[in-house]
Chain A
């Protein structure tokens, strides 16, 4: 009996740590001096290989999902169920001519997609994708993540400016203005998690949520401030990744395609890749911060390998992204900015106060009632103020002329 139990436990342990063990086994063929460096190279290669593969899968899922939402079938010609569509798309984009506009700034035009993709890939380094499955467990992991995320804005500006095309430039300026506005809300919405976990290290944040009461996990989303923070985080990241309904920077009906209008072939594919990688990256971070990262949703399911939970949460969030894209109409520029500065930002600031209140009220039901009440009242009041119909006059320019 005990032998079977220990055997089962070792099976669970092995399947949970399979990637870590695989890495150790592969590295053990090398001389001892090379092992740490080889381990890092292997992990980087795994990340660089895995997420583009996920990207290929997601493009099919997105096109099929959008097709279903719009009462179409979606791609179904290449391979079984159209699953080989990304292969065809990839070959197409690789064999296309790489066009650089005659008056473009070729050096900046060349560097922009590279900077974007590298900066986005860097973010994955600190996200724990399973138990012990993190490239670098940094003490300031969250700060590193946001530092890398901030660098992508400059890449978008570089792309738009260097193309010497007014639609590209307009798209880039829209994108940068939008990303800066929502970045404030994004950072502030994650601060509540840092306040509660007491650490910027993402592994510690997951460890703080990996506890169970009555079989239910202590995920931060199951608290009033956590739920509010998660919703604000979801809104801010949707805007940050330029996804619909916040896809004004690439609004094809107004701006052709925004900052990547003048890109073709492989460089365009890099932008496309960067956008989806950013989506995976923010989904992974959101799962880590609010949905318990790699921890199981019920205590009796902890035997399922941790990385399966992480990637299920990630794919669930990708599904929501696709769903939103198929459902919501695009916002106007002024609505977008008003929403960021007059609704999301005040709510995140209020949420900080609520989180502090939660912390100092101690255990008990009072804090649940009070914190929920404050957030709901603020939501209703600010929502009503924002929904008021305003008088629209002729357009006036305040900062740019």
Chain B
């Protein structure tokens, strides 16, 4: 694991923590964008250029803006007077900790089966050891054209369904948020 990975991971986790811990709702939304940016950098670190840029465009450019608009429209930009945590916060925290414990245990326990770093030495040893772990493949050179061909070929049906879903969500969101005057009803 490289230093860059640890830095980006720390940034992402810090952004996520700030997003759920800060008192002021707008600060939470801004911290959320830090977490989004960190995740986009992690995608880039995983050689997923297209997904990383799409993440920035969609999450930082659209979802974060939507969130701050919603905060301002619901008059939530001031720090609330009472507590910011729900009455049942202990239950929620316990559940989250339990989920993390299970996920972390699963990852750690399966770590020997996961692909090792792609150095020739580990590849050679893993071939001799009883539990062979596949070596990490070299970074696949994915061009945007390949993604486009995959979307228009193999995954064309999911693409159409996403298009319908987005249209439905667009109309639905407008209808839900639209407010007609009382006399218009």
Contacts and interface: CB of A to CB of B under 8 A. Distances in A.
Contacts of A169: 72
A139 B145 CA distance: 9
A157 B65 contact: yes
A350 interface: no
Among B30, B33, B179, residue most surrounded by chain A Cβ atoms (within 10 Å): B30
Contacts of A201: 144
B64 interface: yes
A6 to B, nearest CB: 38
Interface in A151-170: 151, 153-154, 157-158, 161, 169
Interface in B44-71: 49-50, 53-54, 56-57, 60-62, 64-65, 68-69
B86 interface: no
Contacts of A176: 65, 69
Which bucket holds chain A's interface residue count?
20 to 34
A108 B68 CA distance: 14
B49 A138 contact: yes
Among B27, B33, B60, residue most surrounded by chain A Cβ atoms (within 10 Å): B60
B80 to A, nearest CB: 16
A194 B33 CA distance: 29
B60 A144 contact: no
Contacts of A134: none
A329 interface: no
Interface in A362-401: 396-401
Interface of B, secondary structure class, is helix
Nearest to B37: A151
A154 B60 contact: yes
Given A108-B30, A138-B49, A199 B144 contact: yes
Contacts of A140: 49-50, 53, 144
Contacts of A146: 57, 61
A242 B84 CA distance: 37
Given A154-B33, A161-B77, A399-B73, A147 B64 contact: no
Contact of A150 (B56, B177, B181): B56
Contacts of A401: 179
A154 B65 contact: yes
A264 to B, nearest CB: 23
A400 B73 contact: yes
Given A147-B61, A161-B77, A399 B49 contact: no
A173 B60 contact: no
B119 to A, nearest CB: 21
Given A154-B60, A154-B64, A176-B69, 18 more contacts: A108-B27, A139-B143, A143-B57, A146-B61, A147-B60, A147-B61, A150-B56, A150-B62, A154-B68, A161-B26, A173-B69, A173-B72, A176-B65, A199-B145, A201-B144, A399-B178, A399-B179, A400-B73
13 contacts: A108-B27, A108-B30, A140-B50, A143-B53, A149-B61, A150-B57, A161-B68, A161-B72, A173-B72, A180-B62, A398-B178, A398-B179, A401-B179
**Top-10 shortest CB links A-B:** A150-B61, A147-B56, A143-B53, A147-B57, A147-B53, A200-B144, A140-B144, A140-B49, A144-B53, A150-B57
